[in-house]
Amino acid sequence: MAVGSLVAQRCAGTLCAPSQSLHSAGLRSSAECVAPALRLAALRSERCRGRKSVVSMGLTKDGPSVAIAGVTGAVGQEFLQVLTDRNFPYSSLKLLASKRSAGKEQEFEGKKYIIEELTEESFKGIDIALFSAGGSISKKYGPGAADGGTIVVDNSSAFRMAEGVPLVVPEVNADAVKGWKAGSGKGGIIANPNCSTIIMLVPVTPLHKAGKVKRIVVSTYQAASGAGAAAMAELELQTREVLDGKPPTTEIFSQQYAFNLFSHNAPITENGYNEEEMKMVKETRKIWGDKDVQVTATCIRVPIMRAHAESINIEFESPVSEEQAKELLSKAPGVMLIDDRSANRFPTPLDVSFKDDVAVGRIRRDISRSDDRGLDLFVCGDQIRKGAALNAVQIAELLL
Ligand SMILES: NC(=O)C1=CN([C@@H]2O[C@H](COP(=O)(O)OP(=O)(O)OC[C@H]3O[C@@H](n4cnc5c(N)ncnc54)[C@H](OP(=O)(O)O)[C@@H]3O)[C@@H](O)[C@H]2O)C=CC1
Ligand SMILES: N[C@@H](CC(=O)OP(=O)(O)O)C(=O)O
């Protein structure tokens, strides 16, 4: 069965397994589908997470006018969920996607919206636009929207390294957007960093402030969600196919994904690193404003639905002890400590799926060094949430 038809069937509800088992795999009951009935999906997913199903209402005449470009995608759907979860204020909401989705209905906070085709005219009168329709769409429509007075918070890599474009993780460098105000008539582009970079820097920055990080060696274990809704559907489909003894469908990735892992699918650059790895190197330098910090990364795609994991080795200029690191991380914003050596209990992707915080554990002195200037960590963060939609909405909150 093709991935596209799996997505379609799940959206029609025909393949939805009991929500608890889907949640155990890191799946919402249907929010990952490109489904128009988002509110229903959101309410189901709230039940999955054991939270109360409260419809919050951010609609207020005092809020900014908001547009979401790429609303039908994995990140776009999470934008809606995060806006609701955080009661983000908005005076109007415009939902944009490709021609394929134009005319479809999307329910949000008790109101029905019609998805519109994204065009150059879409951003007239919009204060904040959350973009997640891919880099080429950001390049095509982002600058025009910014010239027209919209502040674009862009999830793609299109403008991250551009001069004058702040690259922001609110827990790390909120100051980079000081003075930016939604609705002021002054537009611009703010870039959301790469998800692996965000998930690394949320826990590593408090340690950097304590001991100044000189070098990071990071290995990632990246989920299907980083490659979009279709990749998540392919992982689900392949898992069923392999268990049924059928050959796996490989439409999104070129090799078997279920029960396997492989080097990240981003293109390999001239130096042998892939683009995902080089993003972690360059973006860390820009976010920290430290061109000298050394980062080497190995990025791997693993058959996990929606949360990335990272093994991180850090070298400091000044000593940072295990105890100091634990104390700092237990209080750090956006961080949850899971570090129980006696129970051998440390962060897992499922601990952070659908959650805001990045989990950190396995905090230990690097025994390959004779001093206190090296630490090892293991971190997990929800790629769609903190790695993309939540971080972008937190940036938007800085503009209110
Ligand atoms: N910060 C980060 O690390 C992350 C960033 N991203 C960025 O977000 C983008 C989207 O990711 P994700 O949601 O996972 O991808 P999906 O494939 O799940 O969704 C893609 C979205 O883009 C829309 N789209 C595609 N083509 C067009 C077009 N021509 N005009 C308007 N809309 C279009 C789709 O609309 P339709 O349904 O109508 O086709 C859909 O809403 C990525 O390409 C990446 O740039 C993603 C993950 C993490
Ligand atoms: N980092 C995502 C891919 C992605 O969307 O990255 P970026 O936003 O840097 O293009 C992944 O897990 O594969």
196 lines ligand 1 (CB under 6 A): no
Nearest-atom number in ligand 2 for the CA of 225 is 12
What's phi and psi for 51, nearest 5 deg? -95, 165
- What's the whole-number average pLDDT of the chain? 91
- pLDDT category at 23 given cuts 50, 70, 90 is low
The pLDDT, as a whole number, for residue 141 is 98
10-24, 68-82, 260-274: the lowest-pLDDT one: 10-24
Percent of the chain with pLDDT strictly greater than 70: 87
* Burial per residue of 134-151, b for 16 or more beta-carbon CB atoms within 10 angstroms, e otherwise: bbebbeebbbebbeebbb
195 is a catalytic site residue: yes
Cα separation, 198 vs 112, whole angstroms: 33
Q: Which of 169, 220, 276 to mutate to test the pocket of ligand 2 (most atoms within 8 A of CB)?
A: 276
Ligand 2 shell residues, CB under 6 Å: 156-157, 194-196, 222, 226-227, 276, 279, 383
The pLDDT, as a whole number, for residue 27 is 75
Domain segments of the chain: what residues?
Answer: 65-193+389-398, 196-382
Ligand in nearest proximity to the CA of 80: 1
More confident: 253 or 42? 253
Percent of the chain with pLDDT strictly greater than 90: 86
DSSP per residue, 124-186: TT-SEEEE-S-HHHHHHHHHHHHHTTPEEEE-SSTTTTSTT--B--HHHHGGGGTT--TTSS-
Give the mean pLDDT of 291-302.
Answer: 98
Q: pLDDT tens digit string along 150-159? A: 999 999 999 9
Judge whether 170 and 398 are in contact, CB under 8 Å: yes
**Alpha helices in 17-60, H assignment, sequence order:** 19-24, 38-48
Q: Provide CB contacts within 8 A for 193, sequence distance 6+.
A: 160, 167, 168, 169, 201, 279, 283, 287, 391
More confident: 398 or 39? 398
Q: pLDDT tens digit string along 351-369? A: 999 999 999 999 999 999 9
Helix %, strand %, coil % for the chain, to 5? 35, 20, 40
The pLDDT, as a whole number, for residue 165 is 98
Q: Provide CB contacts within 8 A for 16, sequence distance 6+.
A: 10, 22, 29, 30
The pLDDT, as a whole number, for residue 49 is 46
Cα separation, 115 vs 93, whole angstroms: 10
- Residue 112's closest CA among 11, 14, 31, 40? 40
Element (H, E) at 349: helix 349-352
- Residue 103's closest CA among 95, 111, 121? 95
- Using alpha carbons only, give the angle 171, 177, 183 rounded to the nearest 5 degrees: 120
Cα separation, 83 vs 96, whole angstroms: 16
The pLDDT, as a whole number, for residue 247 is 98
* End-to-end CA separation in angstroms for the chain: 46
Judge whether 392 and 398 are in contact, CB under 8 Å: no
Cα separation, 265 vs 222, whole angstroms: 10
- pLDDT category at 29 given cuts 50, 70, 90 is low
- Calculate the alpha carbon distances from 347 to 53, 255, 341 in Å: 27, 28, 12
3-state secondary structure of 286: helix
SS (H, E, C) 70-105: CCCCHHHHHHHHHHHHCCCCECEEEEEECCCCCCCE
pLDDT greater than 60 at residue 337: yes
Q: Which of 75, 132, 196, 310 to mutate to test the pocket of ligand 2 (most atoms within 8 A of CB)?
A: 196
Nearest-atom number in ligand 1 for the CA of 134 is 43
Cα separation, 100 vs 105, whole angstroms: 13
Nearest-atom number in ligand 2 for the CA of 156 is 8
135 lines ligand 1 (CB under 6 A): yes
Give the mean pLDDT of 122-147.
Answer: 98
73 lines ligand 1 (CB under 6 A): yes
Q: pLDDT tens digit string along 243-260? A: 999 999 999 999 999 999
Nearest-atom number in ligand 1 for the CA of 158 is 45
Give the mean pLDDT of 164-172.
Answer: 98
Judge whether 322 and 316 are in contact, CB under 8 Å: no
What's phi and psi for 116, nearest 5 deg? -110, 155
Domain 196-382 sits in CATH at 3.30.360.10
- Using alpha carbons only, give the angle 334, 336, 340 rounded to the nearest 5 degrees: 165
Q: pLDDT tens digit string along 225-235? A: 999 999 999 99
208 is a catalytic site residue: no
The residue contributing the CA closest to ligand 2 atom 3 is 226
Give the mean pLDDT of 83-100.
Answer: 98
Q: Edge-to-edge strands of the sheet including 151-154?
A: 116-117, 92-97, 65-69, 128-131, 151-154, 188-191
C-alpha 243: how far from its chain's center? 30
Residue ranges with strand state E in the chain: 65-69, 92-97, 105-108, 111-114, 116-117, 128-131, 151-154, 188-191, 213-222, 262-263, 294-301, 307-316, 335-337, 358-365, 374-382
Q: Could you tell me if the ipTM is greater than 0.85?
A: yes
Domain 65-193+389-398 sits in CATH at 3.40.50.720
pTM of the prediction? 0.91
